[in-house]
């Protein structure tokens, strides 16, 4: 256990020593803030009755602002998290430090979990920035906290899946660039996978919509914690970690 934590801590520090963490945090805060303002404007226009509802309305801040904001956040994460995970294994393989880890008395599973926890810790901090924005809503408004908590849980699980996929791909290459671009493409595909579904309700159609990585977030932002969605994300995380283990093993056999 202390091995895993040592590794997670090392990972986390590596993000902060390089400008990586600051670039991610800065641009994430900027983009999140941008969507925050945009969604707030839409909500305000609704509340002032500018969409022909005939006069000012009482709008639900959760429904009109926070829920779409979480949806937008998912897209930001889809574009940013690939760069968070790209270096994790690729850099160790390139610089030869992977040899240190693989010849130390720690198992592959410990390495994989340690790296996952390190990346998750950074991601959680990144998500933590947005608590400021949400806090302001509590100051001036009266949102329900239930859907917010479940929304954050959803974002954590979804981000975890992104990270797990990213780490898997990073473990397959020595190039951070290749890892980053491939992860981004794979995640994009996971997002759009149900765009070809035609709503016909056939088996293929159902499978395609089930696989879509963003679709599963929706219920969380509504305040519903559905076990099927939790299962989806947790399975994806576990599957990614499993594939990483296989990838490390393969790399070992092929030298």
Kindly state whether residue 102 participates in binding other proteins, applying the rule CB under 8 A.
yes
DSSP code per residue over 242-255: HHHHHHHHHHHHH-
| Rounded least distance, CB 160 to other proteins, Å | 24
Stretch binding other proteins (CB under 8 A), from 103-111, 123-131, 148-156, 161-169 = 103-111
Do residues 64 and 46 make contact, with C-beta atoms less than 8 angstroms apart?
yes
Which residues, in sequence order, are CB contacts of 246 under 8 Å at separation 6+?
A: none
| Rounded least distance, CB 100 to other proteins, Å | 4
Q: Tell me the C-alpha distance between 33 and 185, whole Å.
A: 25
Kindly state whether residue 10 participates in binding other proteins, applying the rule CB under 8 A.
yes
Kindly state whether residue 99 participates in binding other proteins, applying the rule CB under 8 A.
yes
What are the structure tokens assigned to 149, written together? Answer: 């908590």
Which residues, in sequence order, are CB contacts of 12 under 8 Å at separation 6+?
A: 118, 121, 122
What are the structure tokens assigned to 17, written together? Answer: 């020593």
Kindly state whether residue 23 participates in binding other proteins, applying the rule CB under 8 A.
no
Kindly state whether residue 254 participates in binding other proteins, applying the rule CB under 8 A.
yes
Stretch binding other proteins (CB under 8 A), from 63-71, 117-125, 220-228, 247-255 = 247-255
Neighbour-count burial for 190-229, b at 16+ CB within 10 Å, e otherwise: bbebbeebeeeeeeeeeebbebbbbbbbbbbbbbeeeeeb
Select the residue interacting with other proteins from 45, 50, 53, 97 (CB under 8 A): 97
What are the structure tokens assigned to 74, written together? Answer: 């998912």
What sign does the CA torsion over 45, 48, 51, 57 have?
positive
Select the residue interacting with other proteins from 50, 107, 202, 235 (CB under 8 A): 107
* Closer residue to other proteins in complex, CB, 99/144: 99
Select the residue interacting with other proteins from 31, 40, 42, 106 (CB under 8 A): 106
195: DSSP letter: G
Select the residue interacting with other proteins from 52, 105, 135, 199 (CB under 8 A): 105
Kindly state whether residue 157 participates in binding other proteins, applying the rule CB under 8 A.
no
Name residue, tokens 């780490």: 167
* Closer residue to other proteins in complex, CB, 96/199: 96
* Closer residue to other proteins in complex, CB, 114/147: 114
Strand ranges (DSSP E) for 179-252? none
Kindly state whether residue 255 participates in binding other proteins, applying the rule CB under 8 A.
yes
Stretch binding other proteins (CB under 8 A), from 46-54, 56-64, 105-113, 126-134 = 105-113
Task: Tell me whether residue 151 is exposed, middle or buried, using C-beta atoms within 10 angstroms of its C-beta: 0 to 12, 13 to 18, 19 or more.
Answer: buried
* Closer residue to other proteins in complex, CB, 97/235: 97
Select the residue interacting with other proteins from 54, 55, 58, 103 (CB under 8 A): 103
Contacts with other proteins by CB under 8 A lie at 2-3, 6-7, 10, 13-14, 17-18, 95-107, 252-255
């Amino acid at each position: 256990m202390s091995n895993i934590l040592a590794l997670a801590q090392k990972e986390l520090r590596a993000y902060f020593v390089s400008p990586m963490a600051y670039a991610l945090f800065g641009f994430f805060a900027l983009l999140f803030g941008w969507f925050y303002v945009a969604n707030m404007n839409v909500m305000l226009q609704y509340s002032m009755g500018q969409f022909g509802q005939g006069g000012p309305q009482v709008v639900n801040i959760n429904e009109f602002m926070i829920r779409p904001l979480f949806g937008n956040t998912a897209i930001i994460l889809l574009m940013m998290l690939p760069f968070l995970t790209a270096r994790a294994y690729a850099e160790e393989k390139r610089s030869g430090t992977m040899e240190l880890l693989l010849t130390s008395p720690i198992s592959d599973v410990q390495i994989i979990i340690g790296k996952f926890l390190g990346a998750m810790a950074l991601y959680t901090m990144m998500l933590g920035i947005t608590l400021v924005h949400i806090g302001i809503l509590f100051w001036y408004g009266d949102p329900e906290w239930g859907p917010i908590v479940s929304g954050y849980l959803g974002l954590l699980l979804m981000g975890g899946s992104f990270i797990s996929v990213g780490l898997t791909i990073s473990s397959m290459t020595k190039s951070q660039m290749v890892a980053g671009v491939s992860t981004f493409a794979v995640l994009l595909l996971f997002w759009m996978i149900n765009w070809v579904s035609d709503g016909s309700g056939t088996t293929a159609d159902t499978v395609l919509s089930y696989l879509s990585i963003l679709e599963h977030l929706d219920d969380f932002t509504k305040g519903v914690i559905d076990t099927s969605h939790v299962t989806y994300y947790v399975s994806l995380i576990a599957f990614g970690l499993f594939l990483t283990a296989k990838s490390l093993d393969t790399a070992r056999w092929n030298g």
